[in-house]
């Protein structure tokens, strides 16, 4: 039996049949808590988890990488913000307009080149477009020991290896440190292999030899981390990814998908708690792979019941539970639904789901379909539509991302050279209609 996972969904292929599987929350998956996990202690610090299981960056990474559309759209957004690269500039106001006066400065440029600032900024761009937040380590120069303080370099930190934290004795809930480690904690030794750095204070930039700066887009009513817009599109991304898996099962094995199995998320939440309690009693570190193994064994058991001639007379017994939500009585329990074996209608319905999911994914990522090569007719959008979509994105979609991505590096430039009033930003060439460009300079004559 082959099990192909896509988040909480799976395609299960047995010898003579196949079925799809998904977990469902009550009332729906999108109502699952995001920031519901409890804080936990690492040394003398209270670590604030990112996501319900402290794994939101990994969750988004896994869902995006499996999808044929999402990763390309995020790369496109990075390319649009990057333009022709990062350049130094000063700001001027002329006739009520803010003008960026692009300049060269050898001293600042030599400092930027000393720590490969382009690689650092590119990593920050990618982090931002996935989770709308990024971690940077700020390193002071040794010259501070002789009274000449200076920020020597900036280093990118993987977002899955950094978490905000608060000192145990602090009277404020505000984070004052960052814990850097492998938060999978695969064994007890790694649980003690961590480093803690104070958060960067832009008002006193030379206060710490090493510090961490978290730059992010504030999310409404959240204390520490950003909940990216992409989170709301995760279910659509999963639906978009699941369709090719279904077609793969049909084409590879000539199997009809006969059943759709739905399990309540509460069942797996309870099982996770039971496994964690059991591991605690045995003195073993709990791993998510334990729950995955249990789930695979459960799917094999379901497959044995649903497939094959010998399964005649067998049945799968489940119970339903009831939850009172205000005036509503909600039920949650296992469901097994037979799928109509009309392949033509089934394939057409899956294609429609895929098309709708593509538009929903692009909308959730704030990318116009014309920029993401998404067309309902399967053809490229007109040049004028692509041009206006690009101009609109350049006017409204890059200023805030640029500010957050370059915030740490601009704080460092201000600290090192306060009198120069210079910043680093992304330069973009002016986009014009082909009809407004001399024929010899048009794209079609310069390919």
Q: What residues does each domain of the chain span?
A: 1-29+257-338, 40-229+392-429
What is the pLDDT, as a whole number, of residue 315?
44
Q: Is pLDDT larger for residue 322 or for residue 263?
A: 263
CA dihedral 407, 128, 43, 222 (to 10 degrees): 90
> pLDDT tier at 29 (50, 70, 90 boundaries)?
very low
What is the pLDDT, as a whole number, of residue 35?
55
Nearest to 418 by CA among 426, 408, 410: 410
Nearest to 245 by CA among 68, 10, 1, 431: 10
Report CA Rg, the chain. Answer: 26
What is the pLDDT, as a whole number, of residue 442?
52
Torsion sign across C-alpha atoms 397, 398, 403, 406: positive
Q: Is pLDDT larger for residue 25 or for residue 378?
A: 25
What is the pLDDT, as a whole number, of residue 229?
86
The owner of tokens 């890059």 is 398
> Average pLDDT, stretch 129-143?
93
Q: How many CB atoms lie within 10 A of CB 304?
A: 15
What is the pLDDT, as a whole number, of residue 317?
44
Integer Cα distance of 115 and 304 in angstroms: 58
What is the pLDDT, as a whole number, of residue 162?
93
> Average pLDDT, stretch 184-193?
64
> pLDDT tier at 378 (50, 70, 90 boundaries)?
very low
> pLDDT tier at 139 (50, 70, 90 boundaries)?
very high
What is the pLDDT, as a whole number, of residue 256?
57
pLDDT digits 0-9 by tens, 141-153: 987 666 789 999 9
What is the pLDDT, as a whole number, of residue 85?
93
Q: Is pLDDT larger for residue 315 or for residue 272?
A: 272
Across the chain, mean pLDDT equals 79
What is the pLDDT, as a whole number, of residue 441?
58
What is the pLDDT, as a whole number, of residue 434?
54
In this predicted structure, the answer to whether residue 32 has a pLDDT above a threshold of 60 is no
Angle value at C-alpha 385, between 379 and 389, nearest 5 degrees:
115
Angle value at C-alpha 274, between 268 and 278, nearest 5 degrees:
145
CB proximity list for 440: less than 8 A, separation 6 or greater? none
What is the pLDDT, as a whole number, of residue 186?
59
Integer Cα distance of 17 and 302 in angstroms: 12
In this predicted structure, the answer to whether residue 379 has a pLDDT above a threshold of 70 is no
CB proximity list for 116: less than 8 A, separation 6 or greater? none
pLDDT digits 0-9 by tens, 387-435: 777 777 777 778 999 999 999 999 999 999 999 999 999 998 876 655 5
Q: Is 0.85 topped by the overall pTM? A: no
What is the pLDDT, as a whole number, of residue 175?
92
| Residues counted in the chain | 447
Integer Cα distance of 178 and 225 in angstroms: 12
pLDDT digits 0-9 by tens, 249-295: 666 655 556 777 778 777 888 888 899 888 888 888 888 888 888 88
What is the pLDDT, as a whole number, of residue 210?
95
For the ranges 118-127, 222-231, 262-271, the one whose mean pLDDT is highest:
118-127
> Average pLDDT, stretch 45-52?
88
> Average pLDDT, stretch 66-82?
88
Q: In what order do the strands lie in the sheet with 423-426?
A: 97-103, 86-94, 423-426
What is the pLDDT, as a whole number, of residue 388?
75
pLDDT digits 0-9 by tens, 156-172: 999 999 999 999 888 88
């Amino acid at each position: 039996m082959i099990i192909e996972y896509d988040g909480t969904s799976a395609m299960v292929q047995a010898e003579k049949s196949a079925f799809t599987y998904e977990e469902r929350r009550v009332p729906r998956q999108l109502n699952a808590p995001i920031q519901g996990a409890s804080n936990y202690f690492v040394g003398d610090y209270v670590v604030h988890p990112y996501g319900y299981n402290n794994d939101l960056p990994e969750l988004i990474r896994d869902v995006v990488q499996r999808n044929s559309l999402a990763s390309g759209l995020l790369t496109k957004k990075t390319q649009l913000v990057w333009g022709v690269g990062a350049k130094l500039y000063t700001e001027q106001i002329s006739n009520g307009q803010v003008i960026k006066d692009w300049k060269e400065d050898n001293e600042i440029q030599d400092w930027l080149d000393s720590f490969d600032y382009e690689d650092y900024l590119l990593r920050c761009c990618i982090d931002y477009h996935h989770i709308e937040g990024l971690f940077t380590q700020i390193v002071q120069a040794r010259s501070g020991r002789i009274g000449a303080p200076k920020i020597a370099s900036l280093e990118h930190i993987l977002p899955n290896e950094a978490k905000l934290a608060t000192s145990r004795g602090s009277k404020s809930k505000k984070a004052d440190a960052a814990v850097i480690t492998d938060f999978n904690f695969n064994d007890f030794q790694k649980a003690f292999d961590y480093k803690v750095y104070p958060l960067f204070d832009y008002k006193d930039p030379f206060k710490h030899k090493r510090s961490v700066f978290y730059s992010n887009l504030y999310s409404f009513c959240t204390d520490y981390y950003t909940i990216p817009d992409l989170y709301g599109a995760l279910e659509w991304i999963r639906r978009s990814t699941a369709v090719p898996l279904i077609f793969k099962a049909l084409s590879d094995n000539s199997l009809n998908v006969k059943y759709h199995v739905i399990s309540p998320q509460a069942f797996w939440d309870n099982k996770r708690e039971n496994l964690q309690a059991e591991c605690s009693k045995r003195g073993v570190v709990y791993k998510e792979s334990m729950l995955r193994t249990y789930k695979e064994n459960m799917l094999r058991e379901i497959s044995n019941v649903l497939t094959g001639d010998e399964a005649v007379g067998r049945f799968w017994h489940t119970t339903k539970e009831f939850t009172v939500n205000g005036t509503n009585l909600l039920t949650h329990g296992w469901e097994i639904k037979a799928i109509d074996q009309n392949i033509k209608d089934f394939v057409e319905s899956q294609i429609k789901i895929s098309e709708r999911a593509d538009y929903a994914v692009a909308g959730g990522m704030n990318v116009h379909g014309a920029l993401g090569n998404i067309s309902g007719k399967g053809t490229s959008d007109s040049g004028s539509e692509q041009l206006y979509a690009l101009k609109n994105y350049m006017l409204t979609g890059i200023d805030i991302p640029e500010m957050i991505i370059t915030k740490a590096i601009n704080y460092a430039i201000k600290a090192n050279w306060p009198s120069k009033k210079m910043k680093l930003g992304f330069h973009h060439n002016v986009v014009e209609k082909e009809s407004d460009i001399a024929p010899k300079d048009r794209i079609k004559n310069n390919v």
